[in-house]
Amino acid sequence: MYRPAPATNPVIDALIKRGLYSYSVTDDEHRIACPWASEHLPGERRDAYYYAPTMNAPLGRFYCPCTHGDQHRIGNLLHYLEVDRKAARCKPLIRVLQGEMHRIVVAAEKVLASRDDLYRSNGLIVRLKLDAATGDVTTEAVTEQSLAMYLSADCDWVKFDARSDEWRRCDVPTSVVSNLLKTQMGHHLPVLNGLVRQPYLRRGDGVLVTEAGFAAGSGIYAAFDPADFHIPLLTKENALAALRRLQSLLVEFEFANEADRATACSAMLTASIRDYLDVAPGFNITASSPGSGKSYLASVIAPFAGPGEARNISYPGTNEEATKVVLSLALEQPAAVCFDDMPSDWLPHGAMNRMLTNGSVTERILGSSRVVTARASSFIMGTGNNIRPLRDMARRVASIYLLPQVESAATRDYNGRPAEEVRQHRGRYVSDALTIIAAWKAAGSPKADVPNVAGFGQWSDQCRHSLIWLGEPDPATSLIEQINHDPDKEQLGDLLFAWRDAFGDKPTLVRQVLKHIDEHKRGDLYDAVMELPCVERGYVNQSRFGRYLGRNKNRIVNGLQLVEAPHSERRAWAVIPISTQPRKSLPIVQDYPPESFEQVWQELKTEQAEARNAQA
């Protein structure tokens, strides 16, 4: 049913056997002795040429420069050498037989595996796309039409014709293409687990790999020239020198403070090893006015992820758009993504949250019922004026603040051309980023006494502590400040305080709260509710207000907790004080008379009530 391609070209084998082969000019061009040299005129050379099969010449070509050249073609040469025309095509052959679909699909996958650009990734068959101009590499999912073309070009398909009693050429069956795309049982196509564009840290042991090409063991395809990268001795002195070179790219940017500059350096390190990190925060580059250098700083950082341009796209405005964007990025695996010139804040879409903190996304492919799980390994950043990460994004995105001390920032120029410099000498600067991380590891991975960033432990180790070790401020300063000063948390705190002041701990219905603020169009409760994201055109949407309370159920802010309370009518809410001090255990009283035990118990209750009132 399946015949693999011949190990050697049968035409060349026959030429050698008859003593007609001279030598190889190129892989496809071969000089031979003309089998019809006796027909040459006096003085004409005996040499002729055989060319291996190509798409345009599937049997190959024969060329003799003598006068009889037009009389002898490739068909004449094959007849003379007694080589079968099917064998001369040098292709594998698959016979289409009824009831053998499983074997045909396996054979077809073997044909595809002979190519060097097709892989299985995230449950799909994908093709590597190499940008010849930049050297960047991405992937694209192979469609049914493309797969049929590959199988047709790389293999001969035949089907038995009962009328002629012989096997005849046929097209690739669509059922084979469909099953090949959908099957999860493939074993011949190599599995692609990630793309890298520079030397990389191997997952698992963190060893620095400097060899390019596909590593079958890890499933990583590395597209870079090792000669462009050099890692010196892993000493703290060399790491400091590498840091100074990275900082030289930032001297013309005016950061709000030194911690913002450290965060920009951390972004460079993050981009350099993003493929190694399971998860990494996004980076928000913001300023108070246009022309402050936000997009230009992004263009300085992006080359640390890969040689190509960052994928500049708009930030999704809805959850549906976010799902499409995130899945597309996970499947194509661009090195860097920039949400450039964002008109609004980082909205906490579910798909965006999962991309940054889960490390993978599971979504349905657009226009299909098929669900795929793909690793999200692109370096993420965004730029915009006075933008910030909202709610759940506050702990997922680190901010870099630029603060130019000029009135017209848009008129300034960057004389050092740092973006052009880092693109021209990308290997040097990426090597500096890798040197800092590797030297920190060689020094024993020392860690500073700084607050933990939940969910980003691996990133903190490689791209945060390594810089603190070299004397830099904490690159996670803005991230921690965003977590501690969450505006949504402050809004909820204001609501709970005002609610407690208005209703105490009495169970209260949503409509009772709205009636209260309608009757009292001033005061703390009115102000707190009107600041919530449930107000439409100056009126509170009762359903949205109820959902807001449900999302914040049992949350504690400033010692107050919103809880669901029992009520005879329907769902009600109450705000109760929660002591932040450790609870006192009940004293063990032995051999006390009943009245003494009661006295101790009442004293303890009085102390707890006083503590709650103090908190309120």
pLDDT, position 589: 42
> 181: which residues sit within 8 A by CB, 6+ positions away?
124, 125, 142, 144, 147
pLDDT at residue 600 greater than cutoff 60: no
For 255-280, the pLDDT digits (tens) are 999 999 999 999 999 999 999 999 99
Q: From edge to edge, which strands make up the β-sheet containing 61-63?
A: 21-24, 29-33, 47-51, 61-63
Cα→Cα distances 328→76, 303, 334, 366, Å: 52, 21, 10, 10
- In the chain the first and final C-alpha atoms are separated, in Å, by 82
Query: Please, which pLDDT band fits residue 585 given cuts at 50, 70 and 90?
Result: very low
Mean pLDDT, rounded, for 321-331: 90
Task: Express as a percent the part of the chain with pLDDT over 90.
Answer: 61
Bridge-partner residues for 191, per DSSP?
120
For residue 237, is pLDDT > 90?
yes
Give the pLDDT mean for 65-91.
91
Decide if pLDDT at 587 tops 70: no
CB 405 within 8 A of CB 296: no
593 pLDDT band, cuts 50/70/90, is: very low
Q: How many angstroms separate the CA atoms of 139 and 128, rounded?
A: 5
CA separation for the pair 499, 493 (Å, rounded): 10
Instruction: Provide the pLDDT for residue 247.
Output: 96
> Rounded to the nearest 10 degrees, what angle do helices 236-248 and 258-272 cross at?
110
Q: According to the model, what pLDDT value does residue 283 have? A: 97
- Give the torsion through C-alpha atoms of 64, 67, 72, 73, to 10 deg: 50
Rounded to the nearest angstrom, the gap between the alpha carbon of residue 42 and the centroid of all alpha carbons in its chain is: 69
Cβ density class 226-236: b for 16+ within 10 Å, e for less: eebbebeebee
**Which residue shows structure tokens 């930032």?**
250
Contact 132, 124 (CB under 8 A): no
% of the chain at pLDDT higher than 70: 92
Is residue 586 predicted with pLDDT exceeding 70?
no
CB 141 within 8 A of CB 126: yes
Mean pLDDT of 79-104: 93
Buried b / exposed e along 434-471 (16+ C-beta atoms within 10 A): bbbbbbbbeeeeeeeeeeebebbebbbbbbbbbbbbbe
Q: Is-contact 104 155, C-beta < 8 A? A: no
Contact of 266 with 281, CB cutoff 8 Å: no
Residue 505 predicted with pLDDT over 90: no
Kindly tell me if the per-residue pLDDT of 513 is higher than 60.
Answer: yes
Q: Partners of 573 in the beta sheet?
A: 508, 564
**pLDDT tens by residue, 193-203:** 989 999 999 88
Q: Average pLDDT for residues 351-364, to the nearest whole number?
A: 86
Q: Kindly state the average pLDDT of the residues 144-169.
A: 93
- Residue 191 is given by DSSP the state B
Cα 173 to Cα 98, 107, 516, distances in angstroms: 12, 13, 72
Digit-coded pLDDT (tens) for 181-192: 888 667 899 999
Given a cut of 70, whether residue 346 has pLDDT beyond it is yes
Q: Is the pLDDT of residue 578 over 60?
A: yes
Residue 411 scores a pLDDT above 70: no
Q: What is the mean pLDDT of residues 348-359?
A: 89
Separate counts of helices (H) and strands (E) for the chain: 21, 28
Would you say residue 609 has pLDDT above 70?
Answer: no
| Banded model confidence at residue 485, pLDDT cuts 50, 70, 90 | confident
Give the pLDDT band of residue 116 (cuts 50, 70, 90).
confident
Taking the C-alpha atoms of residue 333 and residue 329, their distance in angstroms, rounded to an integer, is 6
pLDDT at 537: 78
Residue 360 · residue 375 · CB < 8 Å: yes
Closest CA to 330 of 364, 285, 306: 364
Instruction: Say yes or no to pLDDT of 307 above 60.
Output: yes
Q: What is the pLDDT of residue 123?
A: 82
Please tell me the predicted confidence (pLDDT) of residue 409: 57
Average pLDDT over the chain, rounded to an integer: 88
Lowest mean pLDDT among 15-29, 103-117, 138-152, 408-422: 408-422
pLDDT number for residue 144: 93
Q: How confident is the model at residue 608 (pLDDT cuts 50, 70, 90)?
A: low
The DSSP element (H or E) to which 139 belongs, if any, is: strand 137-141
Q: CB neighbours of 569 closer than 8 A, spacing ≥ 6?
A: 509
Question: What pLDDT, on the 0 to 100 scale, is given for residue 591?
Answer: 44
